[in-house]
Structure 1
Amino acid sequence: MRDMAATQLRDRVAGHTAARRGPFWTIPRRDALVGYLLISPQLAGSVLFVLLPLALVGWYSLQEWNVLAGTFDFVGGANYAKLLADPKMGEVLTSTTLFSIGLVVLNLALALLLAILLNQKLAGTTFFRTLFFSPVLVSLVAWTIVWQFLLQGDGGINGLLGAVGVDGPNWLRGDATALLSVVVVQVIKNVGLNMVLFLAALQGVPRQLYEAAELDGANAWVRFLRITVPLISPTILLTSIITVVGSLQVFAQIAVLTQGGPGMSTTVLVYYLYQQAFQFRHFGYGATLSVLLFLIVAALTLVQWRMRRKWVFHES
């Protein structure tokens, strides 16, 4: 009898405890489970295709991997020491810097200019918006091959220059023109994307602000600096980050147009990484260059993000 009473007492206490706790599958818990299930594919993709490859690249940078010999030896920081002593790294970083600066400045300036022009209420703006955006949709390799033929010594560009009496150079084989040619080809290919982003931002600027500034005597340049630039500064930040990161990842254009030449004038960091890893079979050193590229991209993105409070509207 005593055991039965004790059992009933325990059951009664457990029942009261469960009643106080309530059901386990409450509405918030069910909503949380649904949320986790919805983000799980994206989370799994990020882990498998972003975080895991990053970790593997870091691990490979500590190895000497010879695919032909079938060896995979741990060398510690030897690849990083090789990076610091690489005599070609100065030229590679110089080419990368010049290419990125030229691409970012020309792309953003031209995109903003086109967006301002196409934001006017004039006939034919829809046609020109489509015209300038259409290269974004063209296959990158096809676009680059076409420009390779146009920029040759006897190509279409020099044919047009010859028609007006100008003797054009072989654009892709000159030290002074090869890098500029690649930059221009890339700018024309992708300027339409930033143009559309700027155009959307410009259309969100209230017209009343321009009208009030005009009544106060502000000219077009002052209205642009004091109204347009501050109000579209979030879009400027977005496009600058996208363009800077994209400029450091350009590979196909270099591979098709110049193969890094003449000399090292167009050998940017991504193409040098490709050469070391897949042409010379130095996979460990190639992974080390990948780590360097990642650090550069991360540092530039972080700097731009930190500086946003000083010039981006609504971020102060």
Structure 2
Amino acid sequence: MTVAAKSSSPPARKRPFWTMERRDSLAGYLFIAPQMIGITVFVLIPLGLVFWYSLHEWNVLAQTFRFQGLANYQTLLSDPGLPQVLAATGIFSVGLVIFNMSLALLLAVLLDQKLKGIAVYRTLFFSPVVVSLVAWTIVWGFLLQNNGGINALLATFGIEGPNWLRHPTTAMISVIVVQVFKNVGLNMVLFLAALQGVPRELYEAARVDGTPVFKQFTRITLPMISPTVLLTSIITIVGSLQVFAQIAVLTQGGPGMSTTVLVYYLYQQAFQFHKFGYGATLSILLFVIVAVLTFIQWQMRRKLVFYEN
């Protein structure tokens, strides 16, 4: 009886290959495939090639490509000009981040008011973002010349303006100001969007309690927009470390090396002095700096971002 029952039982059904779980997984992989292909082709492979080139001495003019191990990294550690380049990069980045974010937040607060014609001012302050970077820099180059428009304006008030682009201090300040005015509109829009997401009930409750305006800003506004502050700080810092066109057009790294930032120094070594291997080594240094700063900022989010507390 038992044997007959066993022989008459239906055979076990084979599990189909295309289960719901596998179809969902395939759909997910297909959705992320374009992004992964882009990252692989335009980020990972170039990064690997740059590291490979940094291990070689590559002279395009002489058509030589010789493996030399870590010699370029030893040159990097003993480069007498690198400390000044890093100092100029740090000064430019710190100045740009402080002035850009402060001005962007101030403009966002002012433009968040419900006033007649406020859209015109928002468009006006954002318009430099869409202007060609090279065209913007060339115009500012004419304005900052010794006999340019800024000194002509100062002369009308009896003030003799300096040669802005030929003195180390004023040259760095000029480059920072040009970059701040160019991109402040982008951070302004991000801050403005964040401000409009803050519940108005919080401000009404604070006014009922008699909280001063400044405390409303520090106790309500800043905590509520802290995620946007973190985002804009990361974007601004990374962008400040990648500046090139403004330096190339306005100062060419001068006077001396006062405005020679790391990206422009990389360009000089690779494309002016034809030291492509050492230029690749400098690009690895830039990548490490950007990665470390971004990692530090991301790790600090629990202290800086209200929602992470």
Q: TM-score range by the shorter chain?
A: over 0.9
Partner of 1:194: 187
- 1:45-86 deviations in Å (ceiling 9; x for gaps): 110110001111111111111111211111111111111101
The answer as to 2:291 corresponding to 1:298 is yes
Q: Which runs of 4+ in 1 moved over 4 A?
A: none
Q: Which runs of 5+ in 2 are unaligned?
A: 1-6
User: Equivalent residues in 2 for 1:62-101 (5 A)?
Assistant: 62-101=55-94
CA–CA distance in 1 between the matches of 2:263 and 2:227? 29
Structure 1 range deviating more: 55-64 or 232-241: 55-64
CA–CA distance in 2 between the matches of 1:34 and 1:310? 37
Q: Is the 8 A contact 2:137 2:178 kept in 1?
A: yes
- Structure 1 letter corresponding to 2:307: H
Q: CA RMSD in A?
A: 1.5
Alpha-carbon offset, residue 201 of structure 1: 0.5
Structure 1 range deviating more: 238-247 or 305-314: 305-314
- Structure 1 letter corresponding to 2:150: I
Partner of 1:266: 259
- 1:91-129 deviations in Å (ceiling 9; x for gaps): 101100000000000000000000000001112211000
Q: Is the 8 A contact 2:230 2:304 kept in 1?
A: no
Partner of 2:48: 55
CA–CA distance in 2 between the matches of 1:168 and 1:157? 8
Identity %: 70
Alpha-carbon offset, residue 31 of structure 1: 3.0
Picking from 118, 130, 133, the partner of 1:137 is: 130
Q: Which secondary structure does the structure 2 equivalent of 1:176 belong to? A: helix
The answer as to 2:239 corresponding to 1:246 is yes
Q: Which secondary structure does the structure 1 equivalent of 2:225 belong to? A: helix
CA–CA distance in 2 between the matches of 1:16 and 1:273? 71
Partner of 1:206: 199
- Structure 2 letter corresponding to 1:150: L
Picking from 258, 262, 281, the partner of 1:288 is: 281
- 1:151-184 deviations in Å (ceiling 9; x for gaps): 1111111111111111111211111100100000
Partner of 1:6: none
Q: TM (normalized to structure 2)? A: 0.95
Partner of 1:148: 141
Partner of 2:159: 166
Q: How many residues align?
A: 303
Partner of 1:256: 249
CA–CA distance in 2 between the matches of 1:164 and 1:141? 31
Alpha-carbon offset, residue 35 of structure 1: 2.7
Structure 1 range deviating more: 283-292 or 32-41: 32-41
Q: 1:20 to 1:211 in 2, by over 3 A?
A: same
Q: Which secondary structure does the structure 1 equivalent of 2:66 belong to? A: strand
The answer as to 2:285 corresponding to 1:275 is no
Q: Which runs of 5+ in 1 are unaligned?
A: 1-8
Picking from 117, 126, 132, the partner of 1:124 is: 117
